[in-house]
Structure 1
Amino acid sequence: MTSSIPQAQPPPESPRLPLWRWRRNPLLRPADRLQGWIGLFLLVAVAAAAPAAMCAAGETAHRHYERIAHHQARVRHHVPAVLVHDVPRHPEPGSAEARETLYPAEVRFTDSGGHTRTAETAVEPGLSANSTVHIWADADGTPTDPPLEADRIRSRSMGWAALAGVAVVASGAAAYRLAGLALQRRNLEAWDRAWAETGPRWTTSVE
């Protein structure tokens, strides 16, 4: 009786050390060296593409938000409004924190059509009812946010630049991972074919 051929087992994976695919090794497969070249190519490509993508994304976003800011500056304007209720006082009046703290308050104003409207806006602490404040409104008289300022444009542009850099790095890592999986599948198929030829020679016949 002839014993069955044992199932093929892939060779143990090489240690995941930096640049191990470039070391001299009699067991190094062509696919391992190819994966090393792919990794090197992707590393250089990502290093070159990431800064370029970040600059392009940052400049594009900056121009986009500048156009938005210019449009907002044309259609938005300050409107005088009157506080409906007293605004709470800050626990530390006169402090630096009090100067930077704003409280939500209900205000009453007249829109461009002559209609009296109410809205909620952020005002300084300690103001009394019937005090006059200014709010931002659009062409229809609807309360809105102020036009984009330079620091907000800059922060948003930097955010898009960082996102572009992360996208390039992630794409490079994904490409390397997919290439590694494809080469691993190819190695396993080659191993199965080699074992199918060699395995029968290792079997013994028992009568």
Structure 2
Amino acid sequence: MSGPIPPAQPPPAPHHHQHGPLHPLTLWRRRHNPLRRRTDRLQCGIALGLLLLVPALGLVATFTVGDAAHRHYRATAEHQARTRHLTPAVLVHDAPRHPEPGSAEARKTRYPVPVRYTAPASAPAPASGGETRTAETDVLPGLPGGSTVDVWVAADGSLTEAPLTTEQVRGRTMGWAISAFLAVALTGTALYGAAARLLRRRNLAEWDARWAEVAPRWSTSP
């Protein structure tokens, strides 16, 4: 075989095959593609809009809900501090013993035991000095009967929990603030998912309509 050898040609550009649905940002970069459908552009616009809107709304919801929760729990803590009082109480009988005395589990375990205490004078009572009452409270294992423990008493004379601490107020406030942000994020995700499903159904319906028009041309024998 004679003749000059043709010059070398550059290798063809690699073809990148895209599998599955296109990412919204990829769709936006290819917005000038003539093969893109109007629904593709709409889906891309919805995705970009939510990407910008959800963080902004999430921050607004975080600060709004967090501030409201902080005000509520702070007011609750102040009211509890004014209306609850620490009062000594006496165990009516021995507290149950833990199966493993001195263990880490025993130090965390509490048993409900009847105690006798005097309700504050402000609680409903036949005498101005208060009324002796009996109720159950959680105590350490193995405490003998007659031992004295401190209990929190509400304005009506019933046993109650200690007032909310600053750490508890802060923790509950942060919990509500984070929940508000997550609620906005999940709502945005759900809206995008619903819009994507509706647009996909529209694309399939349009595809079926187009195929119904051209199918007879492909299936008809010459």
TM, length-normalised to structure 2: 0.74
Out of 45, 67, 92, which is 2:102 matched to?
92
Q: CA–CA distance in 2 between the matches of 1:195 and 1:145?
A: 71
Amino acid at match of 2:162: P
Amino acid at match of 1:199: A
SS of 2:63's equivalent in the other structure is helix
Amino acid at match of 1:106: P
After superposition, the CA RMSD in angstroms is 2.8
1:67 to 2:101 alignment = no
What's 1:53 paired with? Answer: 61
Out of 21, 28, 39, which is 1:22 matched to?
28
In the alignment, structure 2 segments of 5+ residues that lack a partner are 1-17
Runs of 4+ in 1 over 4 A off after TM superposition: 100-103
- Residue 60 of structure 1 deviates from its aligned partner by 0.8
Q: CA–CA distance in 1 between the matches of 2:109 and 2:66?
A: 31
Q: CA–CA distance in 1 between the matches of 2:204 and 2:148?
A: 78
Q: CA–CA distance in 1 between the matches of 2:138 and 2:63?
A: 36
Identity of aligned residues (%): 50
Aligned residues: 192
1:91-134 per-residue CA deviation (whole Å, 9 max, x = no partner) reads 338x8x84x66543321123342443222223345543212222
In the alignment, structure 1 segments of 5+ residues that lack a partner are 1-12
Amino acid at match of 2:150: H
What's 1:203 paired with? Answer: 219
Q: CA–CA distance in 2 between the matches of 1:171 and 1:33?
A: 22
SS of 1:74's equivalent in the other structure is helix
Amino acid at match of 2:61: A
SS of 2:160's equivalent in the other structure is coil
What's 1:144 paired with? Answer: 160
SS of 1:141's equivalent in the other structure is coil
1:193 to 2:209 alignment = yes
1:159 to 2:169 alignment = no
Amino acid at match of 1:177: G
Amino acid at match of 2:89: A
Q: CA–CA distance in 1 between the matches of 2:113 and 2:157?
A: 18
1:126-182 per-residue CA deviation (whole Å, 9 max, x = no partner) reads 543212222111111111111111111111111111110110011100110111122
